[in-house]
Chain A
């Protein structure tokens, strides 16, 4: 127990000491994106928009579904959240292995890599919100007081993403197949969450999967706060508690295995 407290203290102290590095890593990735791609941040908007268009065709013309707000707003909101989650993980999974050069040569808290990957995607997430606002204005979706929940919900999503990012980036360092496995899982996972269709009345195996999926209450909380002017569902509290607990465990495990990274990479 005493060792655990010492570890936590060290973890915090390191984050404070290296906060400038976290900043610089984010700046680096953003600068690189801006320099190397023509569209720059446009990509942050383009992918969810394209998906929204595709799913709008499917779920309004081919297999219509009932949504509380116009379908494009509903779908874009879901895809915008999911895109943040999935791309943050996609970048974090390989964040240690693509920076092998630094990991094996210079010491600093390695958590910086997955953390900065997530925060870079948070910038994209912020950029993507502009389109959401535009869609809401276009479809006359009003915003209510429940929007005050938004910072809480974003925080919970970041913490949950960070927990998984820590575990996956570390796993990919020791076992490189994790990267491929991740792509499969994340593709399937999206359909077990209320991203592009409402899931209230979903039954069967998929229904069960959706209900135990921690991303379900998070996405529903977002939609409630932004589109429907309602407080997060009770399941959101459980998801939040779970996210923080998982994050604490993941970080301690990461910190304790950290010293092996340089040898294993």
Chain B
């Protein structure tokens, strides 16, 4: 059996306030104790499904990322995994000790010293006293708070507080690790340390569930991801799932008063047309032709062309072109064709291109941002980063003259 099994889990919540009068206590308690609950499968007034028939498994040494919009049930999933909530139906089984990097400083008491809090928080996370004592120095060193360990933590900065909390959790040696956005803790150096620690955990064969809005972090740590929208919307290799999620997140509902509407987009390389989901080699010269209709005169407008990296929404390029820079200023309404030319000087990864159209005098958006096409840059060499700088290497070795003579 996999260390984490989430089997057809559903969780129901109720909106609005609960009216808790003492009069309800006895019948309600009786119902709860004897488990004569109403059919779990139906929704009553004001109820909604935070999770509906969600299933997944995480194997030892596997890291799975859970992504989704706010309110998609991510936190609920974590709370079910950590046993804080019980599913309305379905089964959640976690084998071994659960380490939760959630609210890592929740048990801290401001009046107690760092040292006292380490023991308290450690115990809350389920560590034995001897275990904590044995790793105490390691915990303090990792957190970098050695000098203030005997100071009450109300004097700590929020960063120190969070670092200490994370450090305790990171020394728990769990079988299953559940992480909620902890990579946002502390400064860059500490974040890197955290990340390395996660990778270490993974190599030790610990099953990891990571919930994060930091898609780049999900991409780096997890091979598999789940796109959650109260149900499992997609599950599979991380890059695919991230792309699907970003594509959905980018979908701006076309407003009725959008004056400009795109009819067709075509993307081509010198070798020919490649469609709007192109797979190309780095540094390929690209041409994009957009055919659109406008209900308003396109005179004093600016076109804004952007390239984002899909996995983390990083803005790679942002170019603005005024209508007048494009030559002929003959009035046009109705249909027009726009052509962009650019070089895909990008390293391997997934990118998408989008367009805004602004009306300058009113600063109004006539359209956008509208996604035009996606680019998958593929490359066999190991090049990381963002920009392909047309890198090459050469090595010269000087040969000693005496050796030549010989």
Identify the A interface with B (CB < 8 A).
Answer: 17-18, 20-21, 23-25, 27-28, 31-32, 35-36, 101-102, 104-108, 171, 174-177, 253, 256-257, 259-260, 262-264
Contact = CB atoms under 8 A, between A and B. Distances in A.
A108 B25 CA distance: 25
A108 B22 contact: no
A175 B111 contact: no
B7 interface: no
A96 to B, nearest CB: 14
Residue from B32, B100, B123 whose CB has the most chain A CB atoms within 10 Å: B123
B106 A24 contact: no
A260 B32 contact: yes
A174 B98 CA distance: 28
A32 B106 contact: no
A173 to B, nearest CB: 10
Nearest to B119: A24
Given A31-B116, A102-B106, A104-B84, 12 more contacts: A18-B123, A21-B126, A23-B123, A23-B129, A28-B116, A32-B109, A105-B106, A108-B126, A256-B32, A257-B29, A257-B32, A262-B84
B18 interface: yes
A105 B105 CA distance: 10
A108 B124 contact: yes
Interface in B1-57: 13, 18, 20-22, 25, 29, 32-33
23 contacts: A17-B126, A21-B124, A21-B126, A23-B129, A24-B122, A24-B124, A25-B120, A27-B120, A28-B109, A31-B116, A32-B111, A35-B111, A35-B112, A36-B111, A105-B103, A106-B106, A106-B107, A106-B125, A107-B84, A175-B21, A257-B32, A260-B32, A262-B84
B102 interface: yes
A107 B21 CA distance: 27
A176 B18 CA distance: 13
Interface residues of B, number: 35
Contacts of B124: 21, 24, 102, 106, 108
B20 A24 contact: no
Contacts of A17: 126
B85 interface: yes
Given A24-B119, A24-B120, A31-B112, A259 B129 contact: no
A101 B111 contact: no
Contacts of A28: 109, 112, 116, 120
A213 B124 CA distance: 37
Contacts of B103: 105-106
Nearest to A177: B22
A218 B297 CA distance: 93
A102 B111 contact: no
B86 interface: yes
Contact of A174 (B20, B86, B107): B20
B128 interface: yes
A175 to B, nearest CB: 5
Given A101-B106, A105-B102, A257-B32, A175 B25 contact: yes
A32 B120 CA distance: 13
Interface string B90-116: 000000001010110011010110001
Contacts of B126: 17-18, 21, 108
Contact of A106 (B25, B82, B85): B82
B107 A102 contact: yes
Residue from A18, A28, A36, A253 whose CB has the most chain B CB atoms within 10 Å: A28
B83 interface: yes
B253 to A, nearest CB: 34
Contacts of B83: 107
Closest 5 CB pairs of A and B: A24-B123, A259-B86, A21-B123, A107-B83, A105-B103
A25 B107 CA distance: 10
A104 B103 CA distance: 10
A175 B100 CA distance: 30
B317 to A, nearest CB: 42
Contacts of A32: 109, 111-112
A79 to B, nearest CB: 30
B127 A106 contact: no
A35 B117 CA distance: 14
B79 interface: yes
B211 to A, nearest CB: 14
Contacts of A177: 22
B127 A20 contact: yes
Contact of A264 (B18, B21, B25, B102): B18
Contact of A263 (B29, B85, B109): B85
Contacts of A176: 20
Contacts of A257: 29, 32-33
A109 to B, nearest CB: 10
B84 to A, nearest CB: 5
A106 B84 contact: yes
Contacts of A24: 119-120, 122-124
A105 B32 CA distance: 22
